[in-house]
Chains A and B, each alone.
Chain A
Amino acid sequence: MNAVATSPSMQGFLRRDGRKGIRNVVAVAYLVECAHHVSRLIVQKSGSDDVHLIGFPGCYPNKYSLEMMQRLCTHPNVGAVLLVSLGCEGFNREQLRRTIAASGRPVDLLVIQQSGGTTRTLNAGLDIVRKMRAELARQTPVPMAFDELIVGTVCGGSDGTSGITANPAVGRCFDWLIEKGSACIFEETGELIGCERIMASRAITPELGREIEACVDKAANYYRIMGYGSFAPGNAEGGLTTLEEKSMGAYSKSGSSPISGLIKPGDIPPRGGLYLLDVVPDGEPRFGFPNISDNAEIVELIACGSHLILFTTGRGSVVGSAISPVIKVCANPDTYDRMADDMDVNAGRILRGAELDDVGREIFELVQSVARGALSKSEALGHQEFILTYKQFEPIGPACLPAA
């Protein structure tokens, strides 16, 4: 890894809480579906790729979604926030606004019913966003170290190649990042069913190991009640047969570092190391599937502070995300040949004779270049998907985080 020492530093925008962001995004956030269109118009007509649309569609209040929106709106990659409310929804917009203001970020709130409808809100919103962008343009990034970086990983459209190429290559990259002090997060306990004992044996304490086993049991029980495991038809068409087979492949994204903690959506790793994110709600299943699509997992990784996301795919996903760049690592060489424009890394070349370490190193270097401001493929293509739905969680237990 000697070549890396001479690379220019990563850089970030310093926030009041001491964290640094590798992007300086203006987030426009709708607080109910009824405000979605107006918010989308503001984003589109702003004419800037640095203005991102996020939001929550529900009219009923929900502790999880409020906490997620607070985390997302104060994410280090976000420089300023415009909140757009219809006016009658249950979302606690004042608390969200106070949280953002307390973080030192410019924040404004438009209530469509008070602003006088679609066009007046749009015009007011465009004016606010223009001023916010001018303010952010005056900020200059500062050098950023590995121990200030958080990287999440997710897989989508897995197939029989994922666990052989892209996932273990991301695992190598994770090992190197963690060695340098970064925090790395892997997730989807429902896609780790079958790996619980191996994972528990990697936990830094036996208590954490027991928490990890219990959290995978919770996931298995939850999915059993849902009637489906996290296993899509495309997984089978790509050669995967069972959930535990998919799990073993997904698990290799975690690399070989000890597991330092078990976190839930919105929990930010307190220091470097490898963290497992428990995305399966607590209590009786209430709001449906834990994550209805890949972007729901990406949003939770971002709410945990992830500056960027390593997304492995076999069948070929094209998604990106609002707030944090998504780097696409393609597991399947045939898929790469078909969809190269969407893929940042061709890990499938391992099947044609390339070395796992070389692909891991390419990902490791790409993480740094994207953290210096280079656009990932999905970013350059304008992908800014975002989805947030209802969930409920209990706080993590005392054994879940490394001791101070």
Chain B
Amino acid sequence: MTTLDKGKLPPLLLLHPDDNILVARRDIALGELVEMDGETFNMPVAIELGHKLARRALAPDTRVLKYGAPIGSMKIAVARGEHVHLHNLRSDYLPSTSRDMEKKTDGH
């Protein structure tokens, strides 16, 4: 899949105009061409349904907005189109846990 299929639903969802992340409407493959803010973009990573990617380059400590509301802050810088998840986004409230680590995933 290397051509942009304009007839289908766009694979990336913008949930709120203020958001700096987009949500995958379905699994998206590495190298797939997707539309982001009116431009065709070559996916630098594969992303699964329901996961987030950066709508623009995000600096460390940037508040990440989803549904127009803050959902945490960036731990490190990411480029546009990168996967935004546990490895680079932290909660501003309570740390999250994942299955391979029975410990906190961030510095709280």
CB <8 Å contact, B98 and A164: no
CB <8 Å contact, B71 and A220: no
Q: Which residue of A lies closest to B71 (CB)?
A: A245
CB <8 Å contact, A244 and B91: yes
Cα A333 to Cα B95 in complex, Å, equals 28
B80 CB within 8 Å of chain A: no
CB 8 Å contact bits of A233-277 with B (1 = contact, 0 = none): 101111111111100110010000000000000000000000000
CB <8 Å contact, B93 and A244: yes
Cα A220 to Cα B70 in complex, Å, equals 17
B56 CB within 8 Å of chain A: no
Q: Indicate whether A164 sits within 8 Å of B94 (C-beta atoms), given known contacts A236-B85, A239-B50, A242-B89.
A: no
Known: A193-B93, A231-B96, A244-B70. 19 other contacts (CB 8 A): A159-B50, A163-B67, A194-B69, A195-B69, A223-B94, A228-B95, A229-B96, A232-B97, A236-B86, A239-B23, A239-B51, A240-B50, A241-B71, A241-B91, A242-B72, A244-B71, A248-B69, A334-B49, A351-B26
Residues of A170-221 whose CB lies within 8 A of B: 193-195, 198, 220
Other-chain residue from A160, A228, A248, A352 in contact with B50 (beta carbon distance below 8 A): A160
Cα A194 to Cα B65 in complex, Å, equals 12
CB 8 Å contact bits of B34-63 with A (1 = contact, 0 = none): 000000000000001111100000000000
Can you list 30 A-B contacts (CB < 8 A)? A160-B49, A160-B52, A164-B13, A164-B23, A193-B93, A194-B92, A223-B94, A229-B91, A229-B93, A229-B94, A229-B96, A231-B94, A231-B97, A232-B97, A233-B98, A236-B85, A236-B86, A236-B96, A236-B97, A237-B99, A239-B52, A239-B85, A242-B71, A242-B92, A243-B94, A244-B70, A248-B71, A314-B50, A351-B49, A353-B9
CB <8 Å contact, B52 and A243: no
A residues near B, CB below 8 A? 159-161, 163-164, 193-195, 198, 220, 223-224, 228-229, 231-233, 235-245, 248-249, 252, 314, 332-334, 351-353
- Specify which chain A residues have a CB less than 8 angstroms from the CB of B90 in the assembled complex: 242
Q: Indicate whether A241 sits within 8 Å of B69 (C-beta atoms), given known contacts A164-B23, A194-B93.
A: no
Q: Indicate whether A242 sits within 8 Å of B96 (C-beta atoms), given known contacts A160-B23, A248-B66, A248-B69.
A: yes
Q: Indicate whether A332 sits within 8 Å of B70 (C-beta atoms), given known contacts A229-B91, A237-B99, A243-B93.
A: no
Interface size class of B (residues with CB under 8 A): 20 to 34
> Top 7 A-B pairs ranked by shortest CB distance?
A160-B50, A239-B50, A229-B94, A233-B99, A245-B71, A242-B91, A239-B51
B15 CB within 8 Å of chain A: yes
- Specify which chain A residues have a CB less than 8 angstroms from the CB of B96 in the assembled complex: 229, 231, 235-236, 241-243
Cα A242 to Cα B23 in complex, Å, equals 15
- Specify which chain B residues have a CB less than 8 angstroms from the CB of A161 in the assembled complex: 49-50
Cα A239 to Cα B15 in complex, Å, equals 15
Q: Indicate whether A242 sits within 8 Å of B99 (C-beta atoms), given known contacts A163-B67, A248-B69, A352-B9.
A: no
Interchain nearest-CB distance for A245 vs B (Å):
4
B residues near A, CB below 8 A? 9, 13, 15, 23-26, 48-52, 66-67, 69-72, 84-86, 89-99
CB <8 Å contact, B97 and A241: no
- Specify which chain A residues have a CB less than 8 angstroms from the CB of B9 in the assembled complex: 351-353
CB <8 Å contact, B50 and A332: yes
Q: Which residue of A lies closest to B106 (CB)?
A: A242
Q: Which residue of B lies closest to A227 (CB)?
A: B104
Interchain nearest-CB distance for A84 vs B (Å):
38
- Specify which chain B residues have a CB less than 8 angstroms from the CB of A244 in the assembled complex: 69-72, 91-93
Cα A351 to Cα B26 in complex, Å, equals 8
Cα A223 to Cα B93 in complex, Å, equals 10
CB <8 Å contact, A164 and B93: no
Q: Indicate whether A228 sits within 8 Å of B97 (C-beta atoms), given known contacts A239-B48, A244-B92.
A: yes
Q: Which residue of A lies closest to B92 (CB)?
A: A244
Cα A285 to Cα B28 in complex, Å, equals 43
